[in-house]
Amino acid sequence: SLMISDVEHFIKGANTMAKSGEKSGGHGKKSLKWKAATGELQEAPVAEHEATESGVQPPKMATFPPGFSIPEIKNKQWRHLMFTRWKQQQRKEKLAAKKKLKNEREALGDKAPPKPIPKTIDSHRVYDEAKVDPNDEEVAYDEATDEFASYFNRQTSPKILITTSDRPHGRTVRLCEQLSTVTPNSHVYYGRGLALKKIIPQCISRDFIFVNENHKTPNGLILSHLPNGPTTHFKMSSVRLHKEIKRRGKDPTEHIPEVMLNNFTTWLGHSVGCMAASLFPHNPKFIGRQVATFHNQQNYTFFRFQRYLFKSEKKVGIQELEPRFTLKLRSLQKGTFDSKYGEYEWVHKSWEMHTNRRKFYL
């Protein structure tokens, strides 16, 4: 290990190098906020060609005394090198602690204590009074009498019209075509100068999906249940088409997929989940092994269309198909689409809803 006088000499030399290279960016613009913890080991670079007076080569890696602060090194290159080595040492200690804990749990077997719950935003979610209890009689009654009851009872099969804004570009057109292959009983109609309010009377016997675009990129989605509503408006982002997905599977088949809804726990999320599930007939063909997933997390809804593969009796693989995108709810409106005189049940207000990051509405 180095002596304290050697460390001070090293710091003075590094600071001298920093002053000489001040014009070339030796000093950082931002102040460093991290320091080495007391008692932790820090590694100091030692030149290989340097030797002591006795001719013995000094060790390549040395440790600094406790309490040494990395920000005291003003030379940018040396400071970055020391910080990198400190992070490597922290990573090694963390892996060693994990390995030790794993060995202890294996040694204890069934007597091992339960694993601690990871500290995430979802696990520390603020309790919401609007959370739905699946065993509640009121919830069961609403499900049996709402607008989508005939779909879930398999009395009617959904019919969907997918339309776009005026003169859509290629990316929006391909997204609509892939949505039509995912949702059965769907038809694509490209907007040509017709306003959305004029399209609604022509598709009164169908539900419709309206895809909006901006700068040649899909950025919005309106889902409306006809003839009496409701209507939801989503912001669309992170759109990936079939060719843009890595390790994708083959094209979807005509089999009716299974539908999976995750984390729609509030009254608002329950309504949005029912609208999403009503796009698919509720008699899935398990032979096709296709699954449409709507996963809600932190007010974002992630859509994935996948196919599962049985590799063995215990292992199952997943292939992602087309397409994938992320939705964020902007509004829930009663009745059909009417941006001027419509009655809204819920509207996203960022100035009121983003005050607490641990409160979610779906």
CA pair distance 333, 285, nearest whole angstrom = 33
Q: Which residues of the chain form CATH 3.40.50.10480?
A: 137-349
Mean pLDDT of 134-157: 80
Alpha-carbon separation of residue 22 from 28, 41, 137, 182, 224 (angstroms): 10, 29, 73, 60, 63
pLDDT at 13: 58
Note the pLDDT tens digit of each residue in 189-223: 877 766 777 777 767 767 778 888 888 889 999 88
- Between 49-63, 235-249, 290-304, the lowest mean confidence (pLDDT) is in 49-63
pTM for the complete prediction?
0.68
Beta strands in 193-269 (DSSP E): 207-214, 217-224, 231-240, 258-262
Which CATH number does the domain 137-349 belong to among 3.40.50.10480, 3.40.50.720, 2.130.10.10, 3.30.70.20? Answer: 3.40.50.10480
Query: Once rounded to an integer, what is the mean pLDDT over residues 292-310?
Result: 91
In angstroms, what CA-CA distances link 276 with 107, 126, 181, 289?
A: 47, 25, 16, 20
Tell me the mean pLDDT in the region 106-124: 81
Please give the residue that has the higher pLDDT: either 134 or 18: 134
User: Residue 17, SS3?
Assistant: helix
142-301-358-113 Cα dihedral, nearest 10 degrees: 90
